[in-house]
Amino acid sequence: MVDTNFNERLSSLSAEEREEILAIAEEFDWSSIVSLIGDGNRANEKFGEEYITFLTCVVSSSTLFCTSLGAISDPTFSRLIFKELGRAFKGTEGNKQVGICDPLHPYRSMDGRCNNLQEVHKGSTFTKYRRILFPDYFRGISDLRRDQTGEPLPSARLISSKINRMTGTESSDLSTFHMVFGQFLDHDITSTPVIKFETLKTGTIMRCCDEKLFKRNKPTKRARRIGCAPIPIPIDDPFYSSYGQRCMEFLRSTPAPSMHLGPREQLNQQSSYLDGSVIYGTKQPSLDGDPLRTFVDGLLKEFVANNGQHFLPVSKNKEMLCNSQEHMDNNEFCFVSGDERVNEVVSLAFFHTVWCREHNRVAQLLKSFHPNATDEHIYQETRRILAAELQHITFNEFLPSLILH
């Protein structure tokens, strides 16, 4: 919430400006802002096209970045917005709301809060990543890095194709599943949202490489400048040249909120803890149409095929990219799990399926030992056991084999 002195410090602004800023600061939390930035159409419906850039400026916490886009012309005004909205953001520095945590609570929170009782949001969802090195943006704020003469750096694809030659060498003792488990593990602790501006005419996700499509759908110039960073592909690329592809799609990540003006930072949507959130998600389960929980005996939902095999639940949501009309006509649908990237590759969906089955196996075992236990108790105990299993496999089996190689 905005503090009581906010109106006094906004006295120099017009009544209309003051009313708009107060409404935004009081209504929005960080997850709502991320959601709006990720959905240009909803942002337009709620605030109008200009607010796409406005909200992006707010979360970037950079006066120079915003004024360079022409979104906010008064630096004092913009600093005031950043300071006040920063107070409302979950996970900003200095936030030590110790009172919201129960130190005797036996189970982890879904979103990673309260792991650290002194800094309750540390490592929780929608907080910024920690840096190993200082940022090195062109002009120091947000623009992509350039060389010493101010020219763009060589294509990232050119560098990677020259350094990492595809030799086809196979491991004698590690399979592809070793790599996929690493991807599954990564999805438990990291998820970086990207700016996905939908085009104003068709509602499709903006493509940065297709100039004809880009011009036809007429996305805003601001949207392209903030979000697009396509990667050029050399004409003699060892792989893509066979397909005539000269450009690789790349959208920049959503800026993380901060109470300080300075360089752009990146945001983590997942909790930073190895807590099984890739299996269970990071939102508090809801009795009203939860996609994962049955709310019966602590079990997770499953889809049972005609042959009796148990799989992840399916979704008929047409907004999911893998739910194309062709697939849906053939009765083929996307899977649903704790992480939205479950459908990226079949092997990743396999791991999600294994852990869903393991949850239900353990839950059924606990129910047989404690027939009077509630659904919530069985669910939380099973979730705690699976998080321990995931940690054990990671530190005692996966990492040692990775380090040895």
Q: What is the C-alpha to C-alpha distance for residues 260 and 265, in angstroms, rounded to an integer?
A: 11
Q: What is the C-alpha to C-alpha distance for residues 310 and 302, in angstroms, rounded to an integer?
A: 6
Domain residue extents for the chain: 14-131+256-268, 281-400
Q: What is the C-alpha to C-alpha distance for residues 122 and 13, in angstroms, rounded to an integer?
A: 35
Decide: 43 and 28 in contact? Cβ < 8 Å: no
Full-model pTM: 0.71
Residue 268: DSSP 8-state: E
- Tell me which amino acid residue 284 is: Q
pLDDT in single tens digits along all 405 residues of the chain: 333 333 344 344 455 654 554 454 444 444 444 444 444 444 445 444 444 444 444 444 333 334 333 333 344 444 444 444 444 343 333 333 444 788 888 999 999 999 888 888 889 998 889 888 888 888 888 888 999 898 989 999 999 988 887 666 777 788 888 999 999 999 999 999 887 655 544 445 667 786 655 555 455 555 555 678 888 899 999 889 999 888 888 888 888 877 667 888 899 999 999 999 999 999 888 877 889 999 999 999 999 988 899 999 988 776 666 776 776 667 778 899 999 999 999 999 999 999 999 999 999 999 999 999 999 999 999 999 999 999 999 999 999 998 886
Q: Is 187 a residue of the active site?
A: yes
Q: Which of 121, 187, 352, 359 is catalytic?
A: 187
